[in-house]
Structures are given as C-alpha cells and as structure tokens.
C-alpha cells in the first residue's frame, strides 16, 4: 500500500484523521462535516488562520497557503460573455470570464482531492504515526 492510499484510507470515514510532515510543517488532515456537507480540512501546525487565504498573482502570500486548495473565480459570469464581446471585444470578454485564483481555502471536497493536491505539490511528504492515548 502506497503512502497516498494509506492517507486516503485513514480519511475514508467521517472523523478520520492523519498527520503528515511536509515542507517543514506538520499537517493535520481531518474529515469533518458541517450539517449536510462533508469535507477534508487541512490544519497547518494545528492552526487555520484566515490571513493565509490571501493570493497575489495567483500564488499564496503566506507559505502556509500552499497546502490549501486554490479557489478560482471569474470576475464575471459566463452569461455576460456575448454582450461583453460585442461591447468590449473578444480579448477583453475572454479575460472577464476566465477563472483565476483569488484565494486559498483549507477545505477539500473529498479525500481524493486533498491527496491529489499534496501528491502534486509535496511528493516527498511523510506520514507521522498516531500518538497512543495515555491510560
């Protein structure tokens, strides 16, 4: 079983968690729910700070943001494309409706999405063994 399969299997069930060491930081991945939505949240050094969500030129401002999911949004919805193309031209209309990274969020929709992101950006991460509870 590869380390990627092991991470997925530990996050398979609600409440599942795994601790990793990547890029000099301790990552804690937990499968949580918020009423009807189930997601995987990534804690960096046991913290989630909203200032880490900032992006500049589609890159994270803070180094901790690179462990999170890039959130992409377009400046305008696609339904304004045809009218913008007539008014402003094709090049400007394309720029208006093309999604760009506007921030980074600590939540991934599935464990597979979280593993794919980590696999792409941190192929040399290590899985930390779970601590034994004290009796």
Residue with tokens 């919805």: 77
Q: Dihedral, CA atoms, 99, 101, 102, 106, nearest 10 degrees? A: 120
Could you tell me the residue ranges of all domains in the chain?
1-48+106-135
> How many whole angstroms from its chain centre is CA 52?
12
Convert the pLDDT of each residue in 76-120 to its tens digit.
999 999 999 999 999 999 999 999 888 999 999 999 999 999 999
Distance from C-alpha of 134 to C-alpha of 131, rounded to nearest angstrom: 9
Residue with tokens 């009218």: 83
Q: What share of the chain has pLDDT > 90, as a percent? A: 56
Asked if residue 13 has pLDDT above 80, the reply is yes
Give the three-state DSSP class for 38.
strand
Question: Which of 39, 44, 48, 10 lies closest to 27 in space, CA to CA?
Answer: 44
**Mean pLDDT of all residues in the chain?**
89
Q: Which residues contact 93 (CB under 8 A, 6 or more apart)?
A: 81, 84, 85
Answering whether pTM is above 0.75, one says yes
Q: Which residues contact 32 (CB under 8 A, 6 or more apart)?
A: 14, 15, 38, 39, 40, 41
pLDDT category at 57 given cuts 50, 70, 90 is confident
């Amino acid at each position: 079983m590869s380390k990627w399969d092991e991470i997925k299997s530990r996050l398979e069930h609600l409440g599942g968690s795994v601790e990793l060491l990547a890029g000099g930081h301790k990552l804690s991945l937990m499968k949580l729910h918020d009423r009807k939505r189930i997601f995987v949240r990534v804690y960096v050094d046991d913290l989630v700070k909203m200032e880490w969500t900032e992006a500049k030129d589609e890159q994270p401002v803070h180094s901790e943001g690179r462990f999170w999911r890039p959130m992409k949004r377009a400046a305008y919805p696609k339904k304004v494309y045809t009218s913008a193309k007539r008014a402003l031209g094709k090049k400007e209309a394309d720029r208006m409706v093309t999604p760009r990274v506007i921030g980074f969020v600590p939540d991934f929709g599935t464990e597979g999405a979280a593993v794919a992101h980590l696999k792409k950006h941190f192929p040399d991460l290590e899985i930390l063994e779970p601590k034994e509870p004290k009796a």
